[in-house]
Amino acid sequence: MAAESPDSTAELYAQHVARNYGAPPLTLVRGQGSKVWDAAGKCYLDFSSGIAVNALGHCHPVWVKRVQEQAAKLVHVSNLYRNEPQGQLAASLAKRCGPGRVIFCNSGAEANEGLLKLARLHGLKKSGVEGVCIGVVVAERAFHGRTFGGMSATPQEKIQKGFRPLLSGFSAAPLNDISAWDKAIDAKTTAAVLLETIQGEGGVFPADPQFLRDLQKICRDRNVLLLIDEIQCGIGRTGKFFAFEYAGIKPDAIAMAKGLGGGFPIGAIWMAPPHDELFQAGSHGTTFGGGALAASAALAVLEVMEDEKLIERVNHQVPVWHAALRALVSMRPDLVKEIRGTGYMIGVILSVDPVPLVTALRQAGLLTVPAGGVALRLLPPLTASAEELAESAEILGHVLREWKVA
Ligand SMILES: Cc1ncc(COP(=O)(O)O)c(C=O)c1O
Answer yes or no: do 194 and 282 share one domain: yes
Task: Say if ligand 1 is within 6 A of residue 107 CB.
Answer: yes
Q: For residue 354, is it within any domain?
A: yes
For residue 211, count CB atoms less than 10 angstroms from its CB and return exposed for 0-12, middle for 13-18, buried for 19 or more. middle
Q: What is the CATH number of the domain that holds 121?
A: 3.40.640.10
Question: What's the gap in Å between 156 CA and the centre of ligand 1?
Answer: 14
Q: Which of 259, 286, 307 is the last residue of a domain?
A: 307
**Which residues, listed in sequence order, are joined to residue 204 by a DSSP beta bridge?**
none
Question: What's the gap in Å between 44 CA and the centre of ligand 1?
Answer: 24
240-274 pLDDT per residue, tens? 999 999 999 999 999 999 999 999 999 999 999 99
What domain count does the chain have? 2
Q: For residue 67, is it within any domain?
A: no
Closest ligand 1 atom, residue 233 Cα: 1
The pLDDT of residue 405 is 87
Q: For residue 66, is it within any domain?
A: no
The pLDDT of residue 1 is 47
Q: Which of 307, 335, 361 is the last residue of a domain?
A: 307
Q: For residue 65, is it within any domain?
A: no
Task: Say if ligand 1 is within 6 A of residue 145 CB.
Answer: yes
Pocket test for ligand 1, best of 141, 258, 345, 369 (most atoms within 8 A of CB): 258
Q: What is the CATH number of the domain that holds 359?
A: 3.90.1150.10
Q: For residue 39, is it within any domain?
A: yes
Q: For residue 55, is it within any domain?
A: yes
Answer yes or no: do 290 and 326 share one domain: no
Question: What's the gap in Å between 203 CA and the centre of ligand 1?
Answer: 14
C-alpha span between 198 and 154 (Å, rounded): 14
Closest ligand 1 atom, residue 267 Cα: 10
Domain residue limits at 396: 8-59+309-402
C-alpha span between 102 and 85 (Å, rounded): 13
Task: Say if ligand 1 is within 6 A of residue 172 CB.
Answer: no
Pocket test for ligand 1, best of 104, 106, 144, 230 (most atoms within 8 A of CB): 144
Answer yes or no: do 166 and 84 share one domain: yes
The Cα angle at residue 58 between residues 53 and 61, in degrees rounded to 5:
120
The pLDDT of residue 215 is 99
Answer yes or no: do 47 and 115 share one domain: no
Q: Which of 275, 307, 339 is the last residue of a domain?
A: 307
Closest ligand 1 atom, residue 258 Cα: 10
Q: For residue 3, is it within any domain?
A: no
Task: Say if ligand 1 is within 6 A of residue 83 CB.
Answer: no
Question: How far lies 258's CA from each of 73, 140, 209, 300, in Å?
Answer: 25, 22, 23, 14
Answer yes or no: do 301 and 323 share one domain: no
The pLDDT of residue 345 is 98
- Stretches in the chain below the pLDDT threshold 50: 1-2
Answer yes or no: do 149 and 211 share one domain: yes
**Contacts with 373 (C-beta within 8 Å, 6 or more apart), sequence order:** 203, 353
Question: What's the gap in Å between 145 CA and the centre of ligand 1?
Answer: 5
Task: Say if ligand 1 is within 6 A of residue 49 CB.
Answer: no
Task: Say if ligand 1 is within 6 A of residue 108 CB.
Answer: yes
Question: What's the gap in Å between 267 CA and the centre of ligand 1?
Answer: 10
Answer yes or no: do 87 and 53 share one domain: no
Question: What's the gap in Å between 249 CA and the centre of ligand 1?
Answer: 22
**Cβ neighbours around 223 below 10 Å, total:** 15
Answer yes or no: do 206 and 192 share one domain: yes
Answer yes or no: do 160 and 274 share one domain: yes
Q: For residue 134, is it within any domain?
A: yes
Answer yes or no: do 280 and 313 share one domain: no
Answer yes or no: do 99 and 244 share one domain: yes
